[in-house]
Amino acid sequence: MPPAEDRAERAERILDAAADLLLRAGYRRTTIEDVAELADVGKGTVYLHWKNREELFLAVLLRESVRVLEDLVRTLEADPLAARLSRLTEIQYANVLKRPLLRAGYTDDTETLGKLLPKLHGRLDPRHAEAFVEYWELLTANDLLRTGRPVRELVVAYQAVLQGFLGHTPPPEPALLADTIAHAFEPLAVPPKQLRAVAPRALALFTEAVALDRKQLERAY
């Protein structure tokens, strides 16, 4: 059996090829043979990592999601004030716009993703969503969100706003989304001292979410 490093590198190369073809041709028109040829491996080698075509392409999308979350973690490490909801949303939104495959998941782009769409979010570790809810609860407990409704209801409203921005063509500027989130969900004043106080816990939550999702991804490596 080849060393673990070689296997992981090969898996990454296959995912790179699958991502490229998914963007160029879409899910329906891309075969395992196409991916194997572009990745310069045998068709059987692809099946050593993923049991079928759907699993392979879901792994492509999961990798995109993991990378966006990793970018967020790096930003939080460098700037505690990025823990503010409007700023964090602006960062994530801008990152998604730079990743057309991930954006396709928000815009119901069936031409690109085909039948993968209903299964995309189920590929994430279930604790991924809970980490996001806990982040909202953290903000609420520290008076960094407007109160009056349960956190889970606020999350639903927030996701509807985000979906609307991502689904619009052309997508609005990140600064406009940040301003919208600030007015809709945040108090008039957001003290930097309170943001710095919650930043370590917010960072821990998203770091854990990255680790969980990457573990899901690397099962095939």
In eight-state DSSP terms, residue 27 is S
Q: What's the CA gap between 60 and 211, in Å, rounded?
A: 17
Residue 46 lies in a domain: no
Are 6 and 28 a contacting pair, CB within 8 Å?
Answer: no
Q: What's the CA gap between 147 and 106, in Å, rounded?
A: 27
List pLDDT tens digits, range 111-148.
888 878 777 777 777 788 889 999 999 999 999 998 78
Cα 65 to chain centroid, rounded: 3
Number of domains in the chain: 1
Instruction: Transcribe 117-174 into DSSP letters.
Output: GGGTGGGS-HHHHHHHHHHHHHHHHTT-S--SS-HHHHHHHHHHHHHHHHHSSSPPPH
Are 123 and 58 a contacting pair, CB within 8 Å?
Answer: yes
Instruction: Transcribe 77-96 into DSSP letters.
Output: HH-GGGGSHHHHHHHHHHHH
Q: Which domain holds residue 143?
A: 64-220
List pLDDT tens digits, range 16-73.
999 999 999 999 999 999 999 999 999 999 999 999 999 999 999 999 999 999 999 9
| CB-neighbour burial class of residue 193 (10 A; exposed 0-12, middle 13-18, buried 19+) | exposed
List pLDDT tens digits, range 189-217.
999 999 999 999 999 999 999 999 899 88
List pLDDT tens digits, range 62-93.
999 999 999 999 999 999 999 999 999 999 99
Token reading at 59: 């792994």
Residue 2 lies in a domain: no
Q: What is the residue-averaged pLDDT of the chain?
A: 92
Residue 39 lies in a domain: no
